Every structure is written in C-alpha cells, then in structure tokens.
Amino acid sequence: MLTSFFQYQFIQNAFLASIFASIVCGIIGVIIVEKKLVMMSGGIAHTSYGGVGLGYLLGFEPIIGALFMSVCAALGISYIKRKGRTHSDVVIGLFWSLGMALGILFIALMPGYPPDLSSYLFGSILSVTRTDLYLIAVLTLIVVLVVVALFDYWKSYLFDEKFATIMGIKTTFLEYLLFILIAMSVVALIRVVGIILVLALFTAPTAISGLLSKNLKSRMALSVIIGCFFCLTGLWISYEMNIPSGAVIVILSAVSYLLFFSVISVKSKIKRKEMSL
C-alpha cells in the first residue's frame, strides 16, 4: 500500500515538503511561542500575500514574491517595534491588512482571468512543485544552521533579554534575525497549510511539546516529530478522502492539542486530590 502511495511524483514532493515544514515549524515555533510572537508571525504571514500577487502580476514565481514581501514586513515590523513609537499590535494589524490588500490589488491588475489562489491561502501540499520543494529545502537548511550555530545566544535571549544584553549579546541583531527567520519559515509553510492556517502549525506542535517537556532542545525535537506526524497523517488522509490537505493538517493539530491538554489537566487534578488526602 505504501509503495503504491509513493509511486507518484507529487506524493514524493508532498512527503519531502512535509518533513522540511515540520523541521521549520518545530524549531522556530518554540522560539515564537516563548517570545509571544504568534500574532506577529500571523502579520508576517498575511503580508506575504502581497508578494504572491506581485509574482503573478510581474510573471515570476509567486513563492519568491512571498519571501521578498515577508522579509520586508519582518524588518519593517521589527524596526517600528524597536523604535517604540506605537503599539506592536497596531503595526501588525497595518502590515496584515496592507499585505492582503496589495495581493488583491495586484491580482485585480492582471490581464485575463485571475489565477486560483486557494492553494496559497489554505495550502495544497499535493500541488507542491520541484521549484517549491527546492526553495523550502534551502529555507529549512538556513533556519536550522542559524538556530544551531547561535543556540546558546537564543537560549539566553529567550530566558532573559535584559540579562543577555548585559552579558554583551547583541539582542537587537538577534531580534532582526529572528524576524527574518520567521519570514523564511512562513514561506516554507505556505504551500503546506497556507497563509491563513500557518499559525496552527507554528503553535500546535510547540504547545504539545511544551506539555511534555520544559527543556528547550527537547521541546524543539518533540515539536519536529509531532509536526511530522501531523503533516504526514494529514497528507495521507487528504489523499485518501480527496479533501483539502491544509485544513486536515490544522484540524488534526488543533484536536490533538485539545486532547493532550485535557488528559494532562485530568491527571494533574487526580494528583492534587491524592496529595490532599
């Protein structure tokens, strides 16, 4: 059965894309959750829609446009946030809306019939091309190398940013770098779960791993494994039932987290009752 499942090129592409996306969301997702940057990641993700529209309008690969727009948004949000002249929520909302509006405008300006953008909005892992796969692989490699090379600095930055600054760590550089890594991660996940659903894959595996371990390395490793399970299981279910892959992956992720949380909460209550007796 598995042999027949993997005999198609698009299945092989989807399988590899799932692995790469899981690695990215597992590593960056932990940092995003720890630094409380979930909504900021959503703002960067939605801004990338403008890049998708620009790619279609000018005739180049939309995913490249998404990467360019995401990086610009990441640097813009980080710069304004650092200046502290306005609330970060306001900046995120503006970039979020601006990216979506630009995407709609660019698509409207295209001659002829507009393309189907549902795969970018909601994900379509079964339609991942070789070009998409190469880009996802490169982005994943960059993210992994940067996080591993600077792991001790990231740990200090996450634990106590002010203390890290006192210790001589360039936290401003780390923040800009983190936002760029988030932008790269967003683009790596777009073809898997889509712009609108990308936050679920950033947060669900990380949240589950947080319930199982408090060690940073362990959480990242568990997040990668859990993300792989969600992506590959969702891929198989969507293929067998002919339903949207991105939606299946996100529903599976959310339901799994709720189950884990419920089970651990019940166990904690039982332990407290036993200790009180």
Least confident residue range of 77-81, 92-96, 111-115: 111-115
pTM of the predicted model, to two decimals?
A: 0.84
Question: If you average pLDDT over each of 126-140, 147-161, 210-224, 234-248, which comes out highest?
Answer: 210-224
The confidence score (pLDDT) of residue 226 equals 92
Q: What pLDDT sits at residue 4?
A: 57
Spatial separation of the C-alpha atoms in residues 240 and 162, rounded to whole Å: 51
Per-residue model confidence as pLDDT tens digits over 216-264: 888 999 999 998 998 888 888 888 888 888 888 888 988 999 998 888 8
What are the CA-CA distances from residue 199 to residues 70, 129, 154, 267 (Å)?
15, 23, 21, 28
**What percent of the chain is modeled with pLDDT above 70?**
95
What does pLDDT average to over the chain?
Answer: 83
| Per-residue pLDDT tens over the stretch 23-61 | 888 888 888 888 888 888 888 888 888 998 898 888 888
pLDDT of residue 3: 59
Instruction: Please tell me the predicted confidence (pLDDT) of residue 222.
Output: 92
Domains of the chain and CATH, by start: 2-276 (1.10.3470.10)
Mean pLDDT of the region 68-90: 79
Q: Is the pLDDT confidence value at 185 over 60?
A: yes
Q: What is the DSSP string of 132-158?
A: HHHHHHHHHHHHHHHHHHTHHHHHHHH
Unique residue bearing structure tokens 């590959």: 232
